[in-house]
């Protein structure tokens, strides 16, 4: 006994503290492996996983204070694995030009991910068929620690789906509440919506099997694949390349959306099959071997319909408000004779116009006419008063159609400039202390609003999007007119530097509209067209791979190197851009006046 007491303290002093910590970790893992064989449900697994997470945090804290060699080796191995999978990364950008066309191709990693997720789905179904009482039985014939790691990852993904499934519908509801109650405090209503929606999903999950949601996710995958197949005629595409020395490929925007939605639905399908495969046709029970996993899977499953409804509504609204579409103009017809109004409505509909007749009020943006006798007609007056007084004979002859078309274009253009003025005022409130600017692109459906430039000089509290979205300020036909003008003049985006007033911005935009009117949309804008606009310097640059924007005098907006975009820059005029002429070095050779000779 004296020998043991004399040797043990000496051994304690010989072993360093890190070895005792490592031995304690190994002892914990061995004990966890032993106790895991006596666990009967994932309630016990949850306690063991909680203890495993606590030990992992303890190891991380200890490693930061005193580095452990084996932890360093594990971290180095993880870094090597990350570098090994670096080939999955792609350089990416956006193509708003479309000309010259680039070869279309989908990244191979997309098909690899789809194959992995499909294999995961098949493996999950096979696991539940092989083990009807729950696949946690594999923990008895393998490493219980690795089983807990997989279970933690599965629960984390299910909780992430639950979080997204609650937050996204509540955020959509919050936008509705903002329209109804304004900017008042809505925190109480938001909290009630979150709790109520989560309780509703949990109640449904406890009484309705999740098999219907499984079929719904499978249907979304099939629809996404069908939407991916057509080539389409998208005016925008995503660019990608596997390495800087590799060729650049394009994937149309509709295919990119189909890929994102399809892979997301396939991931949700794999997770739900893994979590509640044994209870697809029944609700979870506390006596099951995996009640926690099944309940989390059922709740996540019944949050999917709301999430899919919000996504479908967003896509439908984007398609409906797509500026690339063309909406027919509306003509408001008034007059004392109802029969004449009906006859005029039939004539106008043949032109492709919509008709709104009195006594309904004329809405903003609608062109108005008033039916009168031929003697009172002002169809050919140089400067008539509106609503224009016309006769049935004028409509039948079609002499006023061109005037009405021009009047409609003027009204739509006025709506466009008034809306941009409101947006400009909101954007000017967010200015960086060292300069910057914002992007303007009302003619793209996937651009929601005015965006700040991603520059270091921007204010820390400046959001990426400033002001209300385009669809709330600009009427649909105003955005459609902006699409027609900017696409015809080949301007993909507009960058406006801080300090440029709206009046100067309006002057630059009116140059584009005049160019569109004079040349019928057949001439693209060049820098020479903007000469003469005071206090601003307008520059046009075509961003493409290998051709970034460089300027020693004006700020360089940050842009993706792989993108192809023709940008109209509107800077504050700094002067000094005129050509400099060097004075003569030898003043003796300067010409003298004729009167001085002699």
Between 291-320 and 144-181, two packed helices, what is the crossing angle to 10 degrees?
Answer: 40
Which pLDDT score is estimated for 18? 64
Q: Which of 489, 446, 207, 484 is nearest to 324 (CA)?
A: 484
pTM of the model: 0.81
Residue pLDDT, tens place only, 175-225: 776 666 555 666 777 788 888 888 888 888 888 888 889 999 999 999 999
Contact 210, 275 (CB under 8 A): no
Q: Is the dihedral of CA 194, 200, 206, 208 positive or negative?
A: negative
Which pLDDT score is estimated for 235? 80
For the ranges 11-25, 130-144, 193-207, 410-424, the one whose mean pLDDT is highest = 410-424
Which pLDDT score is estimated for 283? 67
- With bands split at pLDDT 50, 70 and 90, how would you rate the model's confidence at 435? low
Higher pLDDT, 509 or 172: 509
Question: In sequence order, what are the residues at sequence separation of 6 or more whose Cβ sits closer than 8 angstroms to the Cβ of residue 423?
Answer: 449, 450, 467, 468, 470, 473
Whose tokens are 């507009």? That residue is 494
* Residue 375 neighbours by CB distance under 10 Å: 6
- With bands split at pLDDT 50, 70 and 90, how would you rate the model's confidence at 581? very low
Which pLDDT score is estimated for 595? 46
Alpha-carbon distance of 162 to 159, in angstroms, equals 5
| Mean pLDDT (whole number) for 325-336 | 90
308's tokens = 């899919």
Tell me the Cα Rg of the chain: 34
């Amino acid at each position: 006994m004296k020998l043991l007491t004399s040797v043990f303290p000496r051994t304690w002093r010989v072993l360093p503290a890190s070895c005792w910590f490592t031995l304690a970790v190994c002892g914990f893992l061995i004990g966890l492996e032993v106790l895991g064989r006596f666990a009967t449900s994932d309630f016990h697994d949850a306690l063991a996983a909680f203890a495993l997470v606590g030990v992992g945090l303890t190891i991380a804290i200890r490693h930061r204070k005193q580095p452990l060699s084996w932890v360093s080796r594990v971290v180095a191995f993880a870094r090597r694995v990350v570098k090994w999978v670096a080939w999955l990364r792609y350089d990416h950008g956006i193509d708003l030009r479309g000309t010259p066309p680039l070869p279309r191709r989908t990244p191979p990693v997309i098909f690899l991910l789809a194959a992995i997720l499909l294999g995961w789905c098949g493996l999950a179904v096979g696991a539940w068929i092989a083990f009807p009482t729950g696949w946690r039985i594999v923990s008895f014939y393998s490493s219980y620690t690795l089983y807990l790691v997989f279970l933690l990852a599965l629960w984390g993904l299910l909780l992430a789906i639950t979080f997204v499934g609650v937050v996204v519908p509540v955020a959509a509801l919050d936008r509705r509440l903002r329209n109804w109650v304004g900017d008042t405090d809505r925190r109480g209503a938001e909290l009630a919506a979150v709790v109520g929606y989560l309780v509703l999903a949990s109640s449904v999950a406890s009484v309705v099997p999740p098999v219907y949601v499984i079929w719904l996710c499978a249907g979304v995958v099939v629809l996404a694949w069908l939407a991916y197949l057509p080539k389409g005629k998208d005016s925008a595409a995503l660019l990608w390349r596997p390495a800087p020395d590799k060729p650049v490929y394009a994937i149309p925007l509709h295919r990119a959306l189909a890929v994102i939605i399809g892979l997301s639905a396939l991931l949700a399908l794999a997770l739900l099959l893994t979590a509640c495969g044994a209870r697809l046709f029944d609700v979870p029970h506390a006596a099951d071997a995996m009640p926690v996993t099944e309940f989390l899977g059922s709740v996540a499953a019944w949050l999917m319909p709301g999430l899919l409804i919000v996504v479908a509504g967003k896509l439908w609204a984007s398609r409906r408000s797509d500026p690339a579409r063309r909406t027919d103009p509306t003509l408001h017809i008034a007059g004392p004779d109802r029969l004449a109004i009906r006859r005029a409505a039939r004539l106008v509909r043949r032109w492709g116009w919509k008709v709104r007749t009195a006594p309904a009020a004329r809405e903003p943006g609608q062109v108005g006419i008033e039916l009168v006798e031929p003697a009172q007609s002002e169809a050919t007056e140089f400067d008539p008063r509106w609503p224009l007084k016309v006769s049935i004979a004028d409509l039948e002859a079609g002499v006023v159609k061109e005037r009405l078309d021009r009047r409609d274009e003027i009204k739509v253009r006025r709506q466009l400039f008034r809306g941009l003025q409101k947006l400009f005022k909101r954007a000017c409130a967010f200015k960086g202390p060292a300069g910057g600017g914002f992007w303007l692109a009302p003619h793209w459906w996937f651009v929601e609003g005015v965006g700040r430039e991603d520059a270091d000089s921007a204010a820390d509290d400046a959001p990426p999007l400033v002001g209300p979205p385009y669809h709330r300020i600009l009427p649909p036909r105003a955005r459609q007119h902006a699409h027609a003008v900017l696409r015809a003049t080949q301007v993909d985006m507009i960058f406006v530097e801080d300090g440029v007033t709206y009046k100067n911005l309006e002057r630059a935009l009116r140059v584009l509209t005049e160019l569109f009117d004079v040349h019928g949309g057949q001439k693209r804008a060049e820098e020479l067209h903007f000469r003469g606009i005071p206090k601003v310097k307008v520059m046009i640059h075509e961003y493409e791979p290998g051709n970034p924007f460089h300027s020693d005098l004006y700020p360089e907006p940050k842009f993706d190197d792989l993108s192809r975009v023709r940008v109209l820059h509107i800077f504050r005029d700094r002067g000094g851009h005129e050509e400099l002429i060097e004075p003569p070095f030898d003043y003796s050779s300067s010409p003298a006046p004729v009167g001085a000779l002699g």
